[in-house]
Amino acid sequence: KLKYAYRDGGASAPWDYVLVPNTINPQFPGLAFDDANRPWISYFDASLNRFYLVTNSSTDGTGSWSMYEFPLTPSGAPAAMPAANNTAVGMYRHSGIVDPYMVIIDSNTTSKGVKFAVFSSLSRGWNTPVVIDALTAGALGAAHLSTDSDSSGNMVVAYQEINVGRVKYAVSLTAAGATWSTPLSISGINQGPGATIKINPSTGSPVASYYDQTNNAVFVNQCSGTPSSCKTTGWTQTQVEGAAGVSGLTAATGQLLSTAMGFSSNGKVYAFFPRGQANDGNLMLANNFAGAFSSVAIANGTNGSLPGTPALNVGV
C-alpha cells in the first residue's frame, strides 16, 4: 500500500498517516506540494505496469483523493536491476499558474526512456509527453530519478544512466518542457545511486548529491551557473563522505540508497545521507557552512551492535 504521512505542529507533534486508495503495488514514489499546500504523489504500480499521479484536496490527506494515469505505458520486458521504473514529481510555475509535472524512468525493453509530461490543474489533462533521454546508449536503462523547479519556470532532472554509470543532468529549454537539453554527464564513472537534484533558492544554481557505491563515497556536485547554462558546463564535484559502507549492497538493494538536500538562507548546502553496511548505519548531515564540507551524525544506527549484519539503508 501507499501511505501519506503528515505532521503538523513541530518536532514534538505526532505523525498521522492515511492510506492512498486504489494503490496495488506502488513503487518509487515522489512527493511535491502546490501553492495551496495540496500534496501530489507520483508512483509506479508494478502490478498494473502503469505510472500514476495522485493528489488530495487537503494538506493532511484527509480530503478526497484523485488519481490520474501518466499518458505513456511501459511495453516489453522490464530491464534487470539496478535499472527500475522510477518516478519524480515537481511544480511548473508559469503566468501565475502552478501545474504539477511528472518525470518517469521507463526501463522496459521496447519503450525505454526518461519521459516527462505536465498535468494541467485547470483542465485536469496531460500535455503531450516528451522524451528527455531515449536511453539508447546501452541496454541497461536508468535509475535513481530526481527533479526540481524554480519560480522562473525552469525544471531540472537528474538520474543515474546505468550503461555509462554516471549521473546525468537535463533542463527544460522551452515553455511547459516541450524541449529539453541533451542530458549531460556530471559525475565520475560508476556513480549515481541516490541521485538528488535541487535548485539553490539563494543562487538559482542546481546542486546534485549522490553515492559512489563502489568506493563507499558520497558526493555533492554544485554548478556555478543558471539551470540553462549548467546544461554544458560549470559543475564542481566534492566528496563529503569516504566511508559510507555501502559497496556490499546488491544491484537490487542498492535501490534503497538515497540522499537529500536543503539550503540555508545564505545558500549553504545541507546534504543528508545514510551510512550502511560495513559502517554504523547512522543518518548523516554534511554542510559547507565553514567553507569546506564536514559531517555529523544526526541519528544513530544500530550496526555497531550487529557485527557482520548489513544495516538497512533508509530513504531521506
Q: Reply yes or no on whether the pLDDT at 81 is more than 90.
A: no
Read off the pLDDT band of 315 (50, 70, 90).
low
Per-residue confidence (pLDDT) for residue 307, from 0 to 100? 52
Half-sphere exposure of 200 (CA within 13 A, CB side): 24
Give the position of cell 563529503.
240
Percent of the chain whose pLDDT exceeds 90: 79
Give the position of cell 546534504.
271
Per-residue confidence (pLDDT) for residue 201, from 0 to 100? 96
Give the position of cell 564513472.
189
What is the model's pTM?
A: 0.95
Quick: pLDDT tens for 9-30: 888 999 999 999 999 999 999 9
Residue 95 CA from chain centroid, whole number? 26
Read off the pLDDT band of 251 (50, 70, 90).
confident
Read off the pLDDT band of 254 (50, 70, 90).
confident
Contact 170, 156 (CB under 8 A): yes
Torsion over CA: 139, 157, 183, 180 (sign): positive
Average pLDDT over residues 167-178: 98
- Cα–Cα distances in Å, from 9 out to 13, 17, 36, 262? 5, 15, 18, 20
Residues 6+ apart with CB under 8 A from 91: 32, 33, 34, 35, 40, 98, 99, 100, 101, 149
Quick: pLDDT tens for 216-233: 999 999 999 999 999 999
What distance in Å separates the CA atoms of residue 292 and residue 75, rounded to the nearest whole number?
46
